[in-house]
């Protein structure tokens, strides 16, 4: 009798669980736009440090990236994003991406690029296998090269740098600098935490400029309401499945370079 009652109780518990909460468009994005990086000379390099403090567990795509547009005084030549992915299509879910579009907002016009020395299990030119680990800091870097813009990633634990590849795009400077998280998971999937630190850019004359603040956006209508961005003295945290403390349009200071 006890076993039967236990089975009924477990069945009722399973039946009473609320369904998984999905963002309306299938993805939630939230951003930290750099402010105060204006300089007398064009910005030709940008870099940032990224640490995944708490890795996801859901078998869905998570993407944390730094994004920039390619431009000159008059024209935009599109833009691209460089960052880490928790990606079910790659071994151990580990991947790095450096890809973009030759017209901002038009995802059909994918930028061409040089071959990558990193392998890619699904043979994706933009997304390569990369066995990143939680708790390790990775430096992401975009810089001008002869044929376009080079994407690099450095593992702070080993001090090893991989050149992901170069993207063939015009322009002599970077603009629109922002870091973001793009999450394709359920809103109630286990919490993840990503830390951004040491945001900096370099001009054509060698001057180093750093953002004084970041402006937050949570733009997706119907996106998960429990994504959050938090200031700490050692970095800016992007957290999923947490109580929202930040508001759309808020400005946070950037921690001093470490």
Q: Which of 52, 49, 125 is nearest to 93 (CA)?
A: 52
Q: Which pTM was predicted?
A: 0.91
Helix%, strand%, coil% for the chain, nearest 5:
5, 45, 45
Distances in whole angstroms, Cα of residue 196 to Cα of each of 71, 78, 91, 137, 255 = 25, 24, 24, 9, 10
In a domain, 2, yes or no: no
In a domain, 18, yes or no: no
In a domain, 172, yes or no: yes
What is the DSSP-derived secondary structure letter of residue 183? E
Q: Which residue has the higher pLDDT, 84 or 16?
A: 84
In a domain, 53, yes or no: yes
Give the range of the structural domain holding residue 42, as residue numbers without chain letter.
27-253
CB-hemisphere CA count at 13 Å for 208?
6
Supply the CATH number for residue 124's domain: 2.60.120.200
**Could you tell me which residues come within 8 angstroms of residue 18 by beta carbon, excluding any fewer than 6 positions away?**
none
Q: Which two tokens stand for residue 142?
A: 């975009």
Q: Which two tokens stand for residue 47?
A: 């870099």
In a domain, 124, yes or no: yes
Structural domains counted in the chain? 1
pLDDT at residue 99 is higher than 90: yes
Under the banding of pLDDT at 50, 70 and 90, the label for residue 63 is: very high
In a domain, 225, yes or no: yes
pLDDT digits (tens, 9 = 90+) for 118-171: 999 999 999 999 999 999 999 999 999 988 999 999 999 999 999 999 999 999
In a domain, 46, yes or no: yes
CA distance 32 to 34: 6
Three-state SS at 54: strand
In a domain, 174, yes or no: yes
pLDDT digits (tens, 9 = 90+) for 208-243: 999 999 999 997 678 899 999 999 999 999 999 999
Q: DSSP letters along 48-100, please?
A: EEEEEEE---SSS-EEEEEEEEEE-SS-EEEEEEEEEEE-TTSGGGEEEEEEE
């Amino acid at each position: 009798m006890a076993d039967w009652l236990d089975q009924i109780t477990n069945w009722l518990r399973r039946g009473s669980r609320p369904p998984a909460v999905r963002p309306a468009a299938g993805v939630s994005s939230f951003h930290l736009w750099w402010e105060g990086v204006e300089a007398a000379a064009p910005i030709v390099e940008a870099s940032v440090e990224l640490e995944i403090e708490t890795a996801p567990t859901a078998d869905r795509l998570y993407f944390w990236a730094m994004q920039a547009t390619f431009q000159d005084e008059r024209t935009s030549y599109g833009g691209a994003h460089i960052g880490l992915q928790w990606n079910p299509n790659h071994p151990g879910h580990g991947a790095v991406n450096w890809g973009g579009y030759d017209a901002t907002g038009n995802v059909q016009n994918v930028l061409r690029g040089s071959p990558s020395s990193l392998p890619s299990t699904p043979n994706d030119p933009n997304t390569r296998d990369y066995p990143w680990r939680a708790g390790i800091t990775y430096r992401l870097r975009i810089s001008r090269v002869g044929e376009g813009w080079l994407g690099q990633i450095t593992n702070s634990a080993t001090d090893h740098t991989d050149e992901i590849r170069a993207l063939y795009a015009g322009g002599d400077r970077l603009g629109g600098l922002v870091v973001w998280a793009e999450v394709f998971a359920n809103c109630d999937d286990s919490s993840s935490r990503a830390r951004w630190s040491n945001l900096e850019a370099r001009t054509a004359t060698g001057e180093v400029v750093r953002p004084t603040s970041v402006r937050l956006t949570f733009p997706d209508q119907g996106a998960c309401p429990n994504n959050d961005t938090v200031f700490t003295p050692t970095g800016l945290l992007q957290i999923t499945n947490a109580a929202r403390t930040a508001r759309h349009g808020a400005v946070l200071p950037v921690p001093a370079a470490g």
